[in-house]
Structure 1
């Protein structure tokens, strides 16, 4: 594919007039892993415990396949009508507008931003919980597991918010590559820690706990409710389709962006699903019917306390990057709206934002 590059004000531009994209296969994988491997990985052991040894792993594999199928379809929507040389769609809403029309754009846009807003709230709560878990872990180590070691979450939320105020000054989605790389490393660190602790616990027990049917419930209704809740937790662990086009818009070409995205997604899905299966299955094998909702913050493990602290700290650092990954599209939408509404505001947006299609023009 021939790509036209122009020089303007010292900047090398792509064929659409934006600053030349420099994203690679590896930066794309980092973005995807940051979006996919979230704190939900630590609740997968509980999910497997509710579904049992057969339905639990199969459910994770099915969600991985569905996610990858969605990626293949969406990645082809980045350029229209031709997926190699067509006009770019910079976001999920742009692709909806081109393919489904104005009404669907408003509807899908509303759900997309509500989804990303909800993810941000979940990340704030999870980060606060992990920060409190670090303090409780140290307290239990010093005073015993029966000690009253409860801590308030609100100060932790305020601290996380202050960090995000600073991180939100990153100008655009293209500039958070380094943050995604750090977040991806952190996600692998705490996922591997959870897997390693579960494996060690199984070896220490000398047996594999759990059953085919999963944790028993008092009634069929309650069992069905817990099973659906487990499926919801697994689905929550694969949340990146709605920011896929924003990630794809960071990639350089040639090769065509959709080919790089498909390859990166395949690698990322294999890696994340492997860690998901390891964390979920070994966590259930270690604790059986007593599997906690979160292996690190629910204290399925108490010792070594320093390793628990390290893993929780990795969760916090990862969610700093994850929050930005899901919030940058929201920030860009709000900034574009204010830029159009108040043209004399004195703030200058990045070129990538100024050349984007306006939501209110759909």
Structure 2
């Protein structure tokens, strides 16, 4: 390759560089991560190659610590070699991408919403599929937007785009959304839930006759899904302990309680040198940081809610948790 670059064929173009992009390395096993890093080190000995690695650095450090646990142990002369020392010999220019800035979630969501159109299209009605048994969800309107449009011999309207109210409320979750990937996941989850609702003019989901729409409850609960994953089960199902002033998770509380009380209880407090909150009790420092982020994010979105009674949120918990890896205690 070097000779080809130095002596290009007549009329041909010499290869100046080969740029290798490596993505999703943080989805590989520790052994694979180390093997790829070793291969990168060999490639970079050749002037021809440039390697760009997109990866969560925490996974690199964890993989190196696991694979080279003996080598990275303390040396006889004192001190020790760290995974960061290893990485510095391979990756010359680390570049940390910044998190999403305030207001960028709103801009991203608006870019994902298709342009509004009034076009109506008539389509042939496909044969109705056989009925499928589904788990009953009490008190939640089950007629979908698709079903409301699927009527033989009638023009079919395109799906209703998100309203400005929906976009603004979703944007209020920006404290809980750190990356564009998380933002896209939030958007897709909301669209999937929305597609199973009746979005007609008399829709309970979007609000009717001055009543707040159920979409507000859905967006607030999606904030729990967007927060660090290990918090969801505790936030929903944590047991109460009256003797320690622990009121437990959202699903365990009285339906007459309020969402504002639950959000306030998420805030971690330090007493006697120990962290804790009124949802789960004692917390480590790392857990306290995650709960603080959740509390701040939920506080921000709650300021825009017109719904507060916890019963409205509890009836949506079963639906919301289906989009997570947290099963109900009964399951």
Tell me the TM-score normalised to structure 1 length: 0.20
Structure (1 or 2) with the greater helix fraction: 1
Tell me the TM-score normalised to structure 2 length: 0.22
Higher relative contact order (CA 8 A, sep 6+): 1
